[in-house]
Structure 1
């Protein structure tokens, strides 16, 4: 019974926080009008969530390892629920962006802990099935976010895409008490690393978001980009020297198979998020902004894209067992590249909906095949006892990929097109989708270089992120 509750609570929680990555996509055209904002405001509506999500994932994982994963999961759910209510009550774009940032903080506590709590609750021989279920719920959250958002906005208002989180969070909070408490080996914090990463990434994203409108050589934009780049280098320098780094670089730069596999797996996760979610940010607005569909009508018409992951995700783990996780990942990225590339190639203001179905299906199938295998190889290449750090690192890089993908493909969109009319929007969308497809295709090639197995972790040095667990507990 305890294991059943673990599946229920972690599955619903990961669905909720991953859904909020993209639940706003079909509400963006409405938010743009009702809150009187432009592309910059829309980008921050998405990126405020994913940026704080990315930056605080590893800190949340470390806090969970040290003070208890169940405890931190409960705190994260409470923060996420309260921030959702604040987002729903936002009177302007600035308040909405701030609430989304706090939402991301709560999501950062929930996401990695659901995975490590689930992995701890099941025996090793059943972990593949458990990760498949977790991946299915994560994929469902990502895939159904746009259609849920569209349905809610059409039947009520954009505020309800945030209100729906509140009752779910209130129901989950008491159920967390039924989970088994667990801790891990990585319980030390890196406050300087968190600060450097936060400021560096904010600077880069701020510059990218504002560059298209204000000019790449304008003082604030150039200063932001240069400062962000310099601080990112300082962050990496510090991570190589910190006694308890936020991102243990030893996981990536070892000489053995496991370190190489971990580095490639995280590169694949970053590239997938960059290409796919950057393309989704632009493409999801097309059906409403250009073709005039309502949010619900647009959401229903994207079902071939959003429903297919729900069908593909449960079998991705079985497929990985038969042909190998690297080939499933390569296939998933190739399908996403084909779908996004075809969408860009055929895009025009009056394109018949029937021509969009096949690209939607290909992209959705690729997404559904991705999440369970990437979770498997990430944990498989991590040292035993450091699954929390590995999960947090992988999710951090994936969220950073989303942030930079939205920012960079947003720049491509605004440079080539814009919101002036349907043709201008389509021109920008076509360019952004094709760039996203090229990036996803590169990710498919990268995935083929993954080692054939994720079991050889003995050659990975234990990262210097914590004292041994017994010493941590003694503190």
Structure 2
């Protein structure tokens, strides 16, 4: 949609939509708690309900002022851009616009949903007909999705974009990295609570150094990646992050934050700082500028799908039963089986990056394309919106 209707326009619409939805979410629990409180008014129960409702509402209301700042800044300072090219042979509607690939979107979503459902239910139901049926149906729909996208004249996911070896490789690295990260964040937060005895707030706060490091140093990492190319950051970064995940194996009952938890999350943060900015920039630089929105969407979908599948699959692979979430010894044993798997995904991503990732200018698919407005690891330049 961004490539077709204007990337700034779609971004602003998305921010406004998100703010309105956040406002609705914030109002919903407060209204529900107020109704329950009016019905009971039983002192402590009513107070607990009011507190919970207001606390949940606050987390959603926070998004609204941020959106109020973001929208005018985007409108004032972000230039509009779009993909002005129309591939030869594309079937257009009566108004001359290209059609949206609704069938492809539905097939892709259903395939991912069914496979994820099967992974989530497998620990509980085993090889039941429902689990097997969902898994098989998801795989079949995935194959149908690929076939449909290959044949459509204007697909949601044009497979030709993967003719760039760099684009394909970086998305595979993205999948490995975000699968590992999604699994780690999910399991580490529970490990800190169930095994180490942290509160939910304490567990979340304990992982904050990773985010703070990325906020402080990602821009510098992007500059470094632009100077030396993406290969080294995308190889070294996952290896550092893998070491951080393995350090989390030291976190057990009575773990010290300063000596056990902080070194692990800090090392993980250093690894993420090293690789995330060059990863994103390389994805955008590996395609023509007109396809920046499509490239960004594919990469974001790969990251989100990786985290989703990892959270669903890791408990199954680590033999984590539903009772493990209430048993410190059982969860700790499963956690110790899961962390090497997450680290292994990062090592696989690093190996792939060292083997396949080069500077965008070295990609043969890009050399055959139209002249570009950027080079090295920087993101593609924005195309100005044509005068109307």
TM-score (structure 1 length as normaliser): 0.65
Structure number with bigger Rg: 2
- 1:65 and 2:29 are equivalent in the alignment: no
Bigger Cα displacement from structure 2, 283-292 vs 271-280:
283-292
Given the superposition, is the C-alpha separation of residues 66 and 304 from structure 1 closer, same or farther in structure 2, using an over 3 Å criterion? closer
For 2:82, the equivalent position in structure 1 comes to 183
Given the superposition, is the C-alpha separation of residues 195 and 85 from structure 1 closer, same or farther in structure 2, using an over 3 Å criterion? same
2:114 to 180, 203, 206: 203
For 2:377, the equivalent position in structure 1 comes to none
Does the CA-based 8 Å contact 1:382-1:390 persist in structure 2?
yes
- 1:81 and 2:43 are equivalent in the alignment: no
Alpha-carbon distance between aligned partners in 1 of 2:285 and 2:346, rounded to the nearest angstrom: 23
Does the CA-based 8 Å contact 1:349-1:423 persist in structure 2?
no
CA apart distance, 1:413: 5.0
Unpaired runs of 5+ residues, structure 1, are: 1-62, 92-152, 464-472
Aligned pair count reads: 336
For 2:344, the equivalent position in structure 1 comes to 438
Alpha-carbon distance between aligned partners in 1 of 2:79 and 2:224, rounded to the nearest angstrom: 31
Alpha-carbon distance between aligned partners in 1 of 2:28 and 2:318, rounded to the nearest angstrom: 27
TM-score (structure 2 length as normaliser): 0.78
What are the Cα deviations for residues 195-217 of structure 1, in whole angstroms up to 9, with x where unaligned?
A: 110111111111111211222x1
For 1:310, the equivalent position in structure 2 comes to 215
For 1:237, the equivalent position in structure 2 comes to 147
What are the Cα deviations for residues 27-63 of structure 1, in whole angstroms up to 9, with x where unaligned?
A: xxxxxxxxxxxxxxxxxxxxxxxxxxxxxxxxxxxx1
SS in 1 for 2:198: coil
Alpha-carbon distance between aligned partners in 2 of 1:186 and 1:293, rounded to the nearest angstrom: 54
Unpaired runs of 5+ residues, structure 2, are: 30-50, 87-97, 371-385
Alpha-carbon distance between aligned partners in 1 of 2:58 and 2:191, rounded to the nearest angstrom: 22
SS in 2 for 1:183: coil
Alpha-carbon distance between aligned partners in 2 of 1:221 and 1:284, rounded to the nearest angstrom: 28
- 1:269 and 2:167 are equivalent in the alignment: no
For 2:66, the equivalent position in structure 1 comes to 168
Given the superposition, is the C-alpha separation of residues 457 and 366 from structure 1 closer, same or farther in structure 2, using an over 3 Å criterion? same
What are the Cα deviations for residues 257-276 of structure 1, in whole angstroms up to 9, with x where unaligned?
A: xx111111110011100111
Does the CA-based 8 Å contact 1:381-1:456 persist in structure 2?
no
For 2:136, the equivalent position in structure 1 comes to 226
Alpha-carbon distance between aligned partners in 1 of 2:142 and 2:155, rounded to the nearest angstrom: 14
What are the Cα deviations for residues 312-341 of structure 1, in whole angstroms up to 9, with x where unaligned?
A: 312212322343211101111001111112
Superposed CA RMSD in Å reads 2.8
